[in-house]
Amino acid sequence: MPAYEFPGGITPPERKDRSNQSPLRNAALPTQVTLPLKQHSGNPAIPCVAIDDRVQVGSLIAQRDGMVSSNLHASVSGTVTHISENAITIDADGLDRWQVLPSLDWRSEDHQTIIARLDSCGLVGLGGAGFPAYIKAQIADHHRIDTLVVNAAECEPYITADDLALRRYPTDIMEGAQMVARLCGAHQIVVGIEDNKPEAIHALREALSHFQKSDCQHPVSITMKVIETRYPSGGERQLIKKLLNLDVPSGGLPADVGVLCHNPGTLLAALYAVRDGKPLVERIVTLTGDAISKPGNYWVRLGTSVETLLQQVGVANQQLHQVIVGGPMMGLPLSTLDAPVIKTTNCLIAATREELPPTPSESPCIRCGACESACPVQLLPQQLHWYARAENDGTLEKLHLFDCIECGACSYVCPSYIPLVQEYRSAKQRIRIKRIETAKADHAKHRFEFRQARLAREDAEKQARRQARQAQSRQMSGSSKVADSATPVVDLRSLRIAQTAAKAAVRKAEKTLARAAAQDPSQRHDDLETQLATAQENLKAADTRLAEARATMAQQESP
């Protein structure tokens, strides 16, 4: 398999065999679910049910708010018992009655219908970021997509959810990939998978050879590339480099190089949403860690509390040291076991103290460069560390802090146990807040300038009207002989210059706004519009003053 290299990377212990030994199972139906309104990137959804409403599995309970947001559905049948600012609680009736949408045939339906279905089913990326899937499907409107990459690398230690999904549903996942490829107009599908999942690779191979026999059903060619196991090959940018030898531009999207990335779980859920009309109400979660006795992968209803789930798989409370959501490299420790499983929960690690011991205390950086050779983006982590401590934000940006993908490889190799990634995260956060504040201040300034310009324009117009009235009255009284010596000598030239400058300013503001709008049509550009309006007001004022001055001149000369 030809694979290209991304720089750096590490090979931490995998510890995947703790959860990939047993088949995929269903977790018990929860008696109560708590469904947070924000389970995705973007705005929280808005509840559309009331307390005591009866719901079925798949009933819409909250609607998306705005573009980047996602619908939310009941994951059990029962009664809505509590609606708070953040979440909706449903008590299950144990009947598990489903309410599904009509089935669609993705091969014959038009794109809009399918995209609308993905939207209404509340589908988001199940890999971790939770980006609404319907927006991703619309990407073909703005970008030409050549390749759909199925990100089956699953490079984080412990996690085996995609592995088990691929073993169990290889044909469904590939069909989902075909559907998404059709939606975005991709010509090929490339599956990237790490070589530590032999069973999934085998299952995929069989599914693919089966596909080749029925070509017409699956028009887009699928290739599978088995890559060596190295963290973070499952990072979007790293995987695209590895499979296609393309560099996603800094600050850009895979779509900028004609690629769309989806993980297998998302494709499976997308197919179920379209083919079976099933909204996103359950997902596969890896339950693992030394503190539980029945590790494995489970279909879990969204909203099930972590505690209930762990009890089902036999958690030893005395040994439990911490629960981590996600993988050990990029995941977060849970502060409470009350937390529910949400759309982006791919793994829960119930770890003992021996398994994931606390980090030893940090010692000074000796600039050994281990982090630099581990960094998959070729940053200089030790320099970033230095400037992050000093809060030298300018230099941090010059050192490309915002290219950091927060994979944690640097922290992992650091011999001084410096929590490098946390430092970068908080530095990024600090810089973002600063930018927002600057933008706010700019906005206020621009609004003030607009007001000034409007007042100036009104002033100029008022004066022009007064002048006109005076001129008229003078003509009426026929006292034109009285040379109006009181009129100030007008400087026509400087007024003309002012008018030209104002015109240029308007043109510049128009251009800036047009460029910004073309680059990012989904965004609003209030501030730039204010700036344009200011420039226009200034131009009007300049025009009025010039016209008035010309009129005065003409009057003075004509008699």
Partner 1 sequence: MSMMHASQLTTKSLTPTAHLMRWVIVATVPGLAAMTFYFGLGVISNVLLAALFALGAEALVLKLRQRPLQPALRDSSAVLTGVLLGASLPPASPWWLIGIGVIAAIVVAKQLYGGLGQNPFNPAMVGYALLLVSFPTYMTLWSPPQPFISENLWPQITGTLSASTLDALSGATPLDAFKHKGETVLASEFWASQPLPEGTLNAWRNIALAWLAGGLLLIAKRIISWHIPASMLASMAVLATLFYASDPSHFASPLFHLTTGAAMFGAFFIVTDPVSAATSRRGKLLFGAGIGALVMIIRTFGGYPDAVAFAVLLMNLCVPLLDIYTVPRPTGQPKSQQHVKHGDSP
Asked if 415 interacts with partner 1 (CB under 8 A), we say yes
* 476 near partner 1 (CB under 8 A): no
Q: Which of 102, 358, 478, 488 binds partner 1 (CB under 8 A)?
A: 358
Residue number, 27 or 159, with CB nearest to partner 1: 159
Residues in contact with partner 1, shown as a per-residue x/- string from 73 to 112 under the rule CB under 8 A: ----------------------------------------
Contact range with partner 1 by CB under 8 A, out of 5-13, 105-113, 178-186, 191-199: 5-13
d(Cα 402, Cα 51) in Å, to the nearest integer?
Answer: 44
Given phi > 0 = left and psi -120 to 50 = alpha, else beta, which region is 303? left
- Selected range binding partner 1 among 16-24, 143-151, 165-173, 378-386, rule: CB under 8 A: 378-386
Closer by beta carbon to partner 1, 13 or else 102: 13
**Of the residues 22, 378, 429, 463, which one makes contact with partner 1 according to CB under 8 A:** 378
Options 7, 94, 219, 521; binder of partner 1; rule CB under 8 A: 7
Pick 314 or 369: Cβ nearer partner 1: 369
DSSP symbol at 262: E
Q: DSSP per residue over 511-552, as a string? A: HHHHHHHHH-TTS--HHHHHHHHHHHHHHHHHHHHHHHHHHH
Bridge partner residues of 315 (DSSP)? 292
Interaction pattern, residues 431-470, with partner 1; x per rule: CB under 8 A? x---x--xx--x----------------------------
Given candidates 244, 399, 506, 546, which one binds partner 1 under the rule CB under 8 A?
A: 399
> Exactly one of 263, 346, 411, 536 binds partner 1 (CB under 8 A); which one?
411
Identify the residue among 369, 475, 479, 492 touching partner 1 (CB under 8 A).
Answer: 369
SS3 of residue 227 by DSSP: strand
Asked if residue 29 lies in contact with residue 301, where contact means CB atoms within 8 angstroms, the answer is yes
Nearer to partner 1, 151 or 552 (CB): 151
Interface region with partner 1, contact rule CB under 8 A, candidates 38-46, 51-59, 212-220, 391-399: 391-399
Of 130, 208, 207, 196, the closest CA to residue 160 belongs to 196
Among 58, 78, 295, 376, binds partner 1 (CB under 8 A): 376
- The residue behind tokens 């596969």 is 284
- Is 250 near partner 1 (CB under 8 A)? yes
> Which regions of 254-309 does DSSP assign to beta strands (E)?
259-262, 282-288, 296-301
The helix-helix angle for 526-557 and 492-519 (nearest 10°) equals 160
320 scored as a contact of partner 1 (CB under 8 A): no
Within residues 139-168, the interface with partner 1 by CB under 8 A covers 157
- Is residue 417 close enough to count as binding partner 1 by CB under 8 A? yes
Compute the distance between CA of residue 138 and CA of residue 179 in angstroms, rounded to an integer.
13
User: In 46-197, where does DSSP find H-type helix?
Assistant: 111-120, 133-137, 161-168, 170-184
Which stretch, 57-65, 120-128, 247-255, 465-473, contacts partner 1 (CB under 8 A)?
Answer: 247-255
- Least distance to partner 1 from the beta carbon of 409, Å? 8
**Bridge partner list, 80:** 90
Least separation in angstroms between residue 537's CB and partner 1 is 19
Q: Exposed (0-12), middle (13-18) or buried (19+): which is 519, by Cβ within 10 Å?
A: exposed
Give the contacts of 70 (CB within 8 A, at least 6 positions apart).
39, 40, 42, 45, 64, 122, 123, 124, 130, 132, 343
193 vs 18: CA distance, rounded Å: 19
Residue 339's region, left for phi above 0, alpha for psi from -120 to 50, else beta, is beta
Q: How many positions of this chain bind partner 1 (CB under 8 A)?
A: 70
The three-class DSSP label of residue 399 is coil
Q: Is there binding between residue 551 and partner 1 (CB under 8 A)?
A: no
Closer to partner 1 at the Cβ: 426 or 487? 426
Q: What span, in angstroms and rounded, lies between the C-alpha atoms of 247 and 227?
A: 18
Tell me: does residue 379 bind partner 1 (CB under 8 A). yes
**How is residue 357 annotated by DSSP?**
P
Site string for partner 1, 254-293 (x = CB under 8 A): ----------------------------------------
Which residues lie closer than 8 Å to 554 by C-beta, 6 or more apart? none
Per-residue binding string, partner 1, 337-356, x by CB under 8 A, is -------------------x
Look-up of token digits 């049910």: 49
> Given the complex with partner 1, which of 102 and 394 has the nearer CB atom?
394
Catalog residues that contact partner 1 under the rule CB under 8 A.
6-7, 12-13, 157, 237, 241, 247-252, 322, 324, 328-333, 335, 356-361, 363-369, 372-373, 376-380, 382-383, 397-400, 402-403, 408-409, 411-417, 419, 421-422, 425, 431, 435, 438-439, 442, 512, 515
